[in-house]
Structure 1
Amino acid sequence: MKNVRRTGVAALLAATLAVSVAACGGDEGGTQEKGPSSSAASPGADKAKNGSGGATSETETVLATVKGDAGVEMVINSATRDSGGFLTLNGQIKNTGSEAYTTPVQWSGTEEAVAATDRSFAGMTLVDSKAKKRYYVLRDTDNRPLTTSGFDPSISGGSALTFFAQFPAPEASTHELGVQFPGFPNATIEISG
């Protein structure tokens, strides 16, 4: 009975993610190379950048840009709510310096089970200050975060690491969220869908 439930949950999650991928389309014309991505299919998984070079289109929507440590910027391009009850954040970490930037281990979060699944963006959270709620990156049935993972330990100078992170969607009345990520100041974004 327990295995049947787990199989059903896994199938539901896979179907929902497949619908999300189809609804969000593929690569938006950027010149990013494809690299290691997440443990599960998602709208941003095929855009995961391994930090070895490449540039993205300057015409992409920008919801927020915040400067972090050592010449890196976090650019958030979209925060899309879907009918399956998920909110997917897409963005980039840009190394604006000339030296390689070593990605901090804190990006993966502090949970032991998640930290054991390789480098990821599991340390990212969303905050709805009006409803006084915090949202964490979703996990699959094997406790792997639904976010870009397995990327190189550094981002070359002048390069960008494209990421996605999937969260439970806040209530429909919520249109603005705070984004918290280790090494960056808080950013405020509007949900774009």
Structure 2
Amino acid sequence: MALTVSLTACGGGEDGGKDDSGNTSSSAPPADEPKDDGGNTVPDTSQTLATINGSDGFQFVVNTAARDKGGFLTVMGSIKNTTTDVKTIDLLWSGQESAVKRTGPSLGGITLIDKAEKKRYYVLRDTDGYPLTTTGLSSVEAGKSVSFFAQFPAPPDGTSEVDIQIPSMPVATIEIS
């Protein structure tokens, strides 16, 4: 199964995300982010912020939660099927919004909780309503992993930890870098 991860950002102003030259702006991964052989951005697996084991055989490993320029927080990691059968992605992970449902299976339902500020952060949407997260997920083969990302508004600079909530999975606390 091929998985293409592409990052796009929502437009910052009333011009629909166009810069001074009239081009549509987009968020691209920094040049120092690791790439797989297909040119896709993959998580830096040198650290593990959280491992979340679901009762359905899926395991989320969160490797990075990094503040980006422009006030974004990008969470990256992998989803592993720990069973011996092909597993279908949980539809709850996509979220309940009709604009997000039209993208097909995604991780649009993930939220971050800043307990200190008492705020919940949802996956950002682009100007067309598409979630800024991995989309096109349908299943994961037995024992295999797929990379994921999800982009959120960044909590205040003083916030160093947030809880990550993935529908139908236990909550875990991750550190922001």
* Same-fold call, TM cutoff 0.5: yes
Which residue is 1:185 aligned to? 170
Q: Paired residue for 1:60, among 46, 49, 67?
A: 46
Secondary structure of 1:80's partner? strand
Q: Residue 24 of structure 1: CA displacement? A: 4.9
Unaligned segments of structure 1, at least 5 residues: 35-44, 49-55
Q: How many residues align?
A: 162
Which residue is 1:161 aligned to? 146
- Whether the 8 Å CA contact 1:146–1:166 is kept in 2: the answer is yes
After TM superposition, the structure 1 stretch with the greater mean CA deviation from structure 2, 67-76 or 9-18, is: 9-18
Relative to the length of structure 2, the TM-score reads 0.82
The alignment's C-alpha RMSD in Å is 2.4
- Whether the 8 Å CA contact 2:85–2:141 is kept in 1: the answer is yes
Q: Does residue 1:22 correspond to 2:30, yes or no?
A: yes
Secondary structure of 2:16's partner? helix
Aligned-partner Cα distance in 1 for 2:108–2:79: 15
Aligned-partner Cα distance in 1 for 2:51–2:145: 13
Name the structure with the higher helix share. Answer: 1
Aligned-partner Cα distance in 1 for 2:153–2:18: 18
- Whether the 8 Å CA contact 1:47–1:163 is kept in 2: the answer is no
Secondary structure of 2:99's partner? helix
- Whether the 8 Å CA contact 1:74–1:184 is kept in 2: the answer is no
Runs of 4+ residues over 3 Å off in structure 1: 12-16
Unaligned segments of structure 2, at least 5 residues: 1-12
Relative to the length of structure 1, the TM-score reads 0.76
Q: Paired residue for 2:132, among 141, 146, 152?
A: 146
Q: Residue 184 of structure 1: CA displacement? A: 1.0
State the identity %.
45
